[in-house]
Structure formats: structure tokens, C-alpha cells
Amino acid sequence: RSARDVAVFLIALAARLAFLFLVDEPLLYRHQYNYFQGGLSVAADPHPWAYVLRSDAWHQWGAWTMAPLYHLFVAMVFRVFGAHLVALQVVQCVLDALVAVLVARLGRRVSSRWGVAAGLAYALYWPSVEFPSRTYTENLHTVLLVAAFSVVAGAAGSTGRLRPLAGGFLLGLSALARAVSAAFLPVAALIA
């Protein structure tokens, strides 16, 4: 299984990096710049924790306060790798390639015969190939949401409480990236 997971990961990563570097698409819409600027403002602040705790300016768009986790993720990437869009995009490519592996694992739980096919389908699904090159909350949300389902599905039928709690924690984190994750709580409850 691990060799298949590595193959799914590498195929997904190659597709995303090829799109990133061969197409070289610029950020296209205002909200992509908003996420970029929000993360940059946190990363550039001399006291980022104080700025995050005392201000909402870094995760607002017009009159709306947006889910904060993606902005913090962008800021963390900028603090670690420098304030370069390409660094963020490459990290997002790696995360989304991980999603393909998680999809393969979920697919194996449903049908061991088709798990790798599910992972490969996600790996080559065009919107998922394009998204990591853009600054969208989905780039963090998707990996957290699919990881949550993978953990919860792995806990199905077990008597332990740690895995469902870990899955719930990941689902909660995904909701901090995109509030739409709250809609998946009933699905997670049914699985667990």
C-alpha cells in the first residue's frame, strides 16, 4: 500500500508542479490578493502574535470577517520560507498531493480494489491540479477536511475515543479555514 500511496503522491505532485511552473498563471481575482495580503501583513508585523490577537484587519475583506486559519497558514509559510508567492504555491502543491493519498486511503476503505483509482482520479482532476497555484482557502481546507474523514473512517467500528476526537479536531480546524466544514458534522457523526 505504501508504494501505491507514494506513486499517487508523486503523480499528484508532478501534475500540480507542472501546472504551476509551465502555465505560470498570475493571481487573477481580488480575493486571491486579499488572502495574500492578509498573510503578508501578519508575517511582516514585528510582533505577529500581538497583531493577530489584537486586530481583525488581517482577515477582513471589505465588511466581512473571514475564517482566519488560511491567513495564518500563509503567514507561517512566509515566515518560514520568505514572503514569496512561489514558496506558498509549492507548499500548497505538496498539501494537495497529500489529499490524493488520503482519497486513495478512503477509497481503499470503501473498496480495496478501487482505492488507488480514487487517489489517481483526484490526483489528475483538473480543478485540484489548478487550485494549489492560487491563494484560496481551499488549499488548506481540503487537506484538513479529507484528513478528518480519513481519521474518522479509520475509527469506525473501534471502541477507542482518541481517533474520533482527532478527526473532530481536524474537522474543527478545517472549519477555521472555510466555515462550510460545519455542514459535514452530520456526515462525520454517521461515520463514527
Residues belonging to the chain: 192
* Residue in the block written with cell 481540503: 142
Closest by Cα among 98, 105, 172, 93 to 134: 93
At 155 the pLDDT is 67
d(CA 17, CA 95): 12
Supply the pTM of this predicted model. 0.90
Cβ atoms within 10 Å of 2's Cβ, excluding its own: 7
pLDDT in tens, 156-191: 666 677 887 888 889 889 999 988 877 777 776 676
Q: Give residue-wise pLDDT tens across range 59-116.
A: 888 778 888 999 999 999 999 999 999 999 999 999 999 999 999 999 988 888 888 9
- 37-65, pLDDT tens digit by residue? 999 999 999 999 999 999 988 888 877 88
| Averaged pLDDT score across all residues of the chain | 90
Q: Are 92 and 20 in contact (CB under 8 A)?
A: no
- pLDDT band (50, 70, 90) for residue 192: low
